A and B are shown apart, each in its own frame.
Chain A
Amino acid sequence: MAEVILQNVSKAFGATQAVEDITMTIEDGAFVVLLGPTGAGKTTTLRLISGLEKLDSGSVHIGGRDVAADTPAQRDVAMVFQQYSLYPHLTVRDNLAFPLRSPILKTPEDVIAKKVQQIAEILQIPHKLDNKATALSGGEMQRVSIGRALVRDPQIYLMDEPLSSLDAKLRADLRVELKRIQSDLGSTLLYVTHDQIEAMTMATKIGVLEEGRLVQYGTPKEIYENPKSIYVASRLGLPRINILPSEIFPGAHKGAQIGLRPENILQSDAGGDGIEATVLRSEHLGDQTRLHLDVRGHAITTLSDPHQDYAAHSTIKISPQNPLYFDAAGLRVA
């Protein structure tokens, strides 16, 4: 396992700037999650580290060594592709053994057999080992794909939305399992996901990408509580943060826009403090209730006591708590 350092990394495909001037350090043993919408450069970043794409400028150091001239094989990285590209002409067992049989690793067959069995059990697919890779369901293919990375002990694991096509239960199981493996082995892992729960629970650090640029890099707590912009604030949190013109609320305004996380809106009855809001509808999710409100023409979402039942069209009072202030361009000011 090793530390990976990106320095002023840029990559363009024709006129599209896929990655622009990214500088980040992935510490040895860290679990770093990249967040960002489609096209933000997450996958390109992984491919630049793995060596599948060549850098336009900047440098990548893996374990203190500049890898610019190295082939993917020489970089000793393991990657789980978003398209879980299993070798269709091989069985599951041979797919898992494929990296171990490479000319670089040349693992003895008895060690391969042991490792493959061990990984298959972790991923709950030991009964599928002798199936052709094409005879698996989507979820099974994805697990084999993860397994093909986990059989190795590389400098860094690169994972591109590895849990995206699994059902909810398996996803939760594997999330815990991946985190356990990572902290047991002290592996360095760079992980791309859209899933907030994965990001918050597994990451030691989160990097937020916007149009190829790294806009914030910090611990999940920092990113959540102290976002640098509206863009970063909207990456995490479900329901999403509410952004309103700050003049709606009376009091000191430190910026043009105010950001309120759903849990940071205090509600009280029509007779309480705060400004008036109309209940549009409430959604009962069991453990929480989401209130959709109308505040002077702006729709906002908040959470309320699961036992509290507000009728539609009733009026309540709301007041902000720990508000975040942003300027007109969306940058955090306070």
Chain B
Amino acid sequence: MSSFSVTEPSSRTKWFAGTLVVLYAVITMIPLVWIALTGFKSPADAISYPPKYLIGGDSDTSFTPTLEGYVNLFTTRTRQTPEFLDANPPETWADEIVRQYDMVIVGPSKFGERFLNSVIIGFGSTFLSVFLGTLAAYAFSRFKIPLADDLLFFILSTRMMPPIAVAIPIFLMYRQLGLSDTHLGMILLYTGVNISLAVWLLKSFIDGIPTEYEEAALIDGYTRFQAFYKVVLPQAATGIASTAIFCLIFAWNEYAFAVLLTTANAQTAPPFIPTIIGVGGLDWPAIAAGVTIFLLPVMIFTILLRKHLLRGITFGAVRK
């Protein structure tokens, strides 16, 4: 027998593929690493040339990490007279950091609030999209629905034009309905955009679950809904997890509608972060700090659901 095998790649192929994957990962990671590093630089280090990318040390390309960016992100500050500064010694480590620019912290910034808005709207609309999408997908997959194909096509057709094309009608409708600048309004809007993706993705997952499981559960003394809940849902976990990630990424990153429809009350983080630019010069470390924090929830969410994604489509115990 030769060492050639159709199913098992040779060690050279594996090595080559591995190198490609690592290279690709490194290239895609560079901007993220750069943003994370910038968040810990002083404003001067952030724009210095040659760029500084080593932490600590005293070479040309190294910088001393500081929490300045994070302090600036979370606080509002004013410049004070030397007399005032002398009379009020700094109380916290954050005070110390802003003192070097003759400033004092006067209160928290809006970032925390905006970030919380993002969490409420992003996760709220993701939950609603996946919840409604799962029920609709199950119905389309299992029941005889009149005009099912046309309905499915209609659902898909809502994604055929860019959502922003209907921005002005939506803006006017939202103003009439009192949904402008509300959490509910944004949750409904993002759910509306995501629902078609959710229905189509989940339908294909549920189609792949043999109906024998539900039939067995029906015979075993369960109602249709209990069979759905106890037998179909656990097996659709993979599909639900990946659909949820897609929905969250869209709702989390959405910028155009957020700029248009939210201002003081329900503004999310994406339109807020660029406004930091306007506060007395380009504060790159604060922006980078905001972006780093903004990235974390989606990252954590994806890592938490990773187990379900990696599991892939498990082979069931139905004989075919």
Residues from chain B with a CB closer than 8 A to the CB of A42 are none
Of A75-83, A274-282, A305-313, A319-327, the stretch lying at the interface with chain B is: A75-83
Q: B215 within 8 Å of A by Cβ? A: yes
Max chain A Cβ within 10 angstroms of own Cβ: one of B223, B224, B234: B223
Indicate if the CB atoms of B317 and A81 lie closer than 8 Å: no
A contact residues around B9 at 8 Å (CB):
none
Set of chain A residues within 8 Å of B231, measured between Cβ atoms: 87
Question: Which chain A residues border B219 with CB–CB below 8 Å?
Answer: 50, 52, 72-73, 77-79, 99
Which one of A82, A102, A104, A133 has the highest number of Cβ atoms from chain B below 10 Å of its Cβ?
A102
A89 close to B (CB within 8 Å): yes
Most buried by B among A77, A85, A133: A85
Interface with B: A6-14, A113-121, A134-142, which one? A134-142
Q: Kindly provide the distance from the CB of A150 to the nearest chain B CB, expressed in whole angstroms.
A: 13
Among A86, A89, A105, point to the contact of B221 (Cβ < 8 A). Answer: A105
On whether the beta carbons of A88 and B317 are closer than 8 Å, the reply is yes
Of B215, B220, B224, B235, chain A has the most CB atoms within 10 Å of the CB of B220
Cβ of A71 under 8 Å from chain B: yes
Partner of B212, one of A76, A85, A136: A85
A148 within 8 A of B: yes
Whether A73 and B317, one on each chain, are in contact in the complex, defined by CB atoms closer than 8 angstroms, is: no
Check B220–A52 contact: CB distance below 8 A: no
Instruction: Confirm or deny: A249 has a beta carbon within 8 angstroms of a beta carbon on chain B.
Output: no
> Closest Cβ of chain A: how far from B268's Cβ, in Å?
36
A52/B218 contact (C-beta < 8 A), A71-B223, A81-B212, A83-B210 known: yes
Assuming A103-B223, A134-B314, is B319 touching A84 (CB within 8 A)? yes
Nearest chain A CB to B250 CB, angstrom units:
29
CA distance A82 to B220 in the complex (A): 16
User: Would you give the 0/1 interface string for A44-63, flagging 1 where the beta carbon is closer than 8 Å to chain B?
Assistant: 00000011100000000000
Say yes or no: B220 contacts A71, CB within 8 Å.
no
Residues of B within 8 A of A136 (CB): 317
Decide if A85 touches B235 in the complex (CB within 8 Å): no
**How many residue pairs, one in A and one in B, have C-beta atoms under 8 Å apart?**
85
CB under 8 Å from chain A, chain B span 226-257: 226, 231, 234-235
B57 to chain A, nearest CB (A): 53
Known: A85-B215, A89-B235. A141 touches B317 (CB 8 A): yes
Neighbouring B residues of A78 by C-beta, 8 Å: 219-220
**Is residue A165 contacting chain B, with contact meaning CB distance below 8 A?**
yes
Q: How far apart sit A106 and B21, CA to CA, in the bound complex (Å)?
A: 52
Cβ B317 vs Cβ A86 within 8 A: yes
Question: B320 an interface residue at 8 Å Cβ cutoff?
Answer: yes
Q: Are A104 and B221 in contact, with the CB atoms below 8 A?
A: yes
CB distance from B284 to the nearest CB of A (A): 49
Whether B53 is near chain A, meaning CB under 8 Å from some CB there, is no
Q: B74 on the interface (CB 8 Å rule)?
A: no
Q: Is the CB of A138 within 8 A of B319?
A: yes
Which parts of B263-320 form the interface with A (CB within 8 Å)? 314-320
Closest chain B residue, CB of each to CB of A47: B215
Q: B317: which A residues are within 8 A, CB to CB?
A: 84-88, 133-134, 136, 141
Residues of chain A within 8 A of B235, CB atoms compared: 88-89
Chain B nearest Cβ from A109, distance in angstroms: 16
Residues of A within 8 A of B316 (CB): 85, 88, 134
A148 to chain B, nearest CB (A): 7
* CB of B188 closer than 8 Å to a CB of A: no
- What chain A residues lie within 8 Å of B224 (beta carbons)? 71
Contacts of B234 in A (CB 8 A): 89
Asked if A87 meets B221 with Cβ closer than 8 Å, knowing A134-B316, A165-B319, the reply is no
Chain A residue with Cβ nearest B224? A71
- Which residues in B have their C-beta under 8 angstroms from that of A82? 319
Bound CA span A85–B219, Å: 12
B289 to chain A, nearest CB (A): 42
Which positions 202-227 of chain B face chain A at CB distance < 8 Å? Answer: 210, 212-213, 215-224, 226
Contact between A83 and B220, CB atoms less than 8 A apart: no
Contact (A102, B215) CB under 8 Å given A88-B317, A89-B235, A133-B317: no
Hey, which chain A residues are within 8 Å of B221, CB to CB? Answer: 73, 76, 99, 102-105
**Cross-chain contact A85 with B222 (CB below 8 angstroms):** no
Closest beta carbon of chain B to A119's beta carbon, Å: 14
A residues whose Cβ falls under 8 Å from a Cβ of B: 50-52, 71-73, 76-79, 81-89, 98-99, 102-105, 133-134, 136, 138, 141, 148, 165
Question: Would you list the 9 A-B pairs with minimal beta carbon distance, nearest first?
Answer: A102-B221, A85-B212, A99-B220, A86-B317, A104-B221, A72-B218, A89-B234, A88-B316, A133-B317
Other CB < 8 Å A-B pairs besides A77-B219, A138-B319, 13 of them? A50-B219, A78-B220, A81-B216, A83-B212, A83-B319, A84-B319, A85-B212, A85-B317, A86-B317, A103-B221, A103-B226, A134-B316, A134-B317
Could you pull out 17 A-B pairs where Cβ atoms are within 8 angstroms? A52-B219, A71-B218, A77-B219, A83-B210, A83-B318, A84-B319, A85-B210, A85-B212, A85-B215, A85-B216, A85-B317, A88-B315, A88-B316, A89-B235, A99-B219, A103-B223, A134-B315
